[in-house]
Amino acid sequence: MGATGLCWSFLFLGALAACRATPQTAPRAQEDPRALIAAVSVAPVYVCGTVGRVARIDRTGYRAELVVQQVFFGFVKPEERLEIAWEELATQRAPRFAKGDRLLVALSPLPATTLWLHRFPPQLRNDKTFAVAAQGDAFLREPDCDGLDALKGYVRLEPKARAESEGAHALAQLAASSEERLAVAALETLAASFEERVLHEGEVTRAMARALREGGARMKRAVLEIARTHKLEELRDAIREIAQSDLGDLGYRAWEALLSLKDPLVAEHLPQWISATEPRSRVLGAKAAATLEAFESIEQASRDPAPEVRQALAEHLQAETQFLPWLLALLADPDQGVQRAAAAKVGSIGPAALPALEALLSSDDPQQQMAAILALAEIGEHARGILERIAAEHPDENLRRLAAVALARPLREQ
């Protein structure tokens, strides 16, 4: 559509009259790199361009001219002028786009709902008029469009290939070669969309290792989280480099990833962590002690003065009867976060924990009795008979009420 057509469109919808500045009482809408990647299933056009004139259609609808600079996917050409449209449901903020903005944007066909047909009647719809995909969120501001060849490779894949290893490889390349915002989104999409076996494929792990060595802090954090969650042995060497060289947050996250791999370096550092002055190191020590089943260090962590250390221990101990003595002690902890973590873990042990919990119920300590009821509630259906007996017969009214509350919520099946 040429300049004359654009002006006619604005006049036709009365947009010029509505094109007064919106008070900027709230920040503009945030870009969403993950939505930009996910929009590949609905967006026939991916371009970089510069925003021209912006106009308001109605109370929540906006449209703007977009001058195309680079085309990553679609049937448009550089230097073409498109019309893009979106909604601003938060009417107190300024439009998400302003004249002169440079954008990387995914564009989808205009919706066919009554509202959008009123905004864009059939006679105004053509192959140069689009909606910003993902309800207006699929865009990046001020992108480095010259460094996005990997994005071109991903969005041009056939849907079937994009859902298989080829798509994972393309996302990995996008993560390793793009600016940080898009790289992090590619990593998060990769981890959320593919089976674990695909994450272990060589092309994927090599790209993630590159991101660990060359990427920015956000990118490294994303890779370390994937490595920790999915136990990516292939990244061990790159993770070790960060753990041993970074004394800040990245180093801490690298040690957590090595902990998930049960790396020998973790055992070497355990005595240092468990006796450290700062609680954060002792938290790492508690996690390591639980994971490595280091009983002396588990005992030390269970008596740590910092509740975050005791909670970390409760969360990371295995749900096995050999750890019940420590879990039962943590179950009666004065800190509620520690109690909840211990109750959940004892509940995961299941019926094997019932004798120990009944012993706690027979104690004279109300705190231990209440903690036992919390754990019984976590065990679920196998504990219903005990909870019913407490709710009906226990001499302590508070315990009867607590058992009744536990029975009132759905009890999970083991």
> Per-residue pLDDT for 31 more than 70?
yes
| Mean per-residue pLDDT, 173-182 | 87
* Strand bridging mode 81-87 / 61-73: antiparallel
pLDDT at 414: 43
> Per-residue pLDDT for 8 more than 50?
no
Percent of the chain with pLDDT over 90: 64
Write out the DSSP string of 143-164: --GGG-HHHHHHHTS-HHHHTS
Collect all residues with Cβ–Cβ distance below 8 Å to 145 and sequence separation of at least 6: 48, 69, 70, 102, 104
The residue ranking higher by pLDDT, 400 or 275, is: 275
> Per-residue pLDDT for 13 more than 60?
no
Taking only the tens place, the pLDDT of each residue in 190-226 is 999 999 999 999 999 999 999 999 888 999 999 999 9
* Token pair recorded at residue 76: 């448009």
Residues forming CATH 1.25.10.10 domain(s) in the chain:
317-414
pLDDT at 269: 95
Question: What single letter denotes the amino acid at residue 239?
Answer: I
pLDDT at 61: 94
pLDDT at 24: 52
pLDDT at 46: 97
Question: What single letter denotes the amino acid at residue 163?
Answer: A
pLDDT at 132: 97
Between CA 352 and CA 375 the distance in angstroms is: 12
pLDDT at 41: 92
> Per-residue pLDDT for 380 more than 80?
no
Tell me how crowded residue 23 is: count the other CB atoms within 10 A of its CB: 10
| Mean per-residue pLDDT, 276-303 | 95
Between CA 141 and CA 101 the distance in angstroms is: 7
pLDDT at 276: 95
pLDDT at 409: 58
Q: CA neighbours within 13 Å on the CB side: how many for 231?
A: 6
Three-point CA angle 164, 190, 229, nearest 5°: 120
| Mean per-residue pLDDT, 338-344 | 88
Q: Is the pTM of this model over 0.85?
A: no
Write out the DSSP string of 24-42: --SPPPPP-HHHHHHGGGT
Phi-psi region for residue 100, left (φ > 0), alpha (ψ -120 to 50) or beta? left
pLDDT at 10: 40
Percent of the chain with pLDDT over 70: 92
> Per-residue pLDDT for 169 more than 60?
yes
Least confident of 38-47, 216-225, 328-337: 328-337
Backbone phi and psi for residue 409, each to the nearest 5 degrees, phi listed first? -90, 155
Residues forming CATH 2.40.50 domain(s) in the chain:
3-146
Q: Which CATH number fits domain 317-414: 3.90.1150.10, 1.25.10.10, 3.40.50.800, 1.10.8.590?
A: 1.25.10.10
The residue ranking higher by pLDDT, 23 or 294, is: 294
Phi-psi region for residue 293, left (φ > 0), alpha (ψ -120 to 50) or beta? left
- The verdict on domain 3-146 having CATH code 2.40.50 is yes
Confidence tier at 25 by pLDDT (50, 70, 90): low
Name the average pLDDT for the chain: 88
* Secondary structure class of 187 (helix, strand, coil): helix
Taking only the tens place, the pLDDT of each residue in 56-114 is 999 999 999 999 999 999 999 999 999 999 999 887 888 999 999 999 999 999 999 99
Going by the DSSP 8-state scheme, the letter that residue 22 receives in this structure is: P
Tell me how crowded residue 306 is: count the other CB atoms within 10 A of its CB: 16
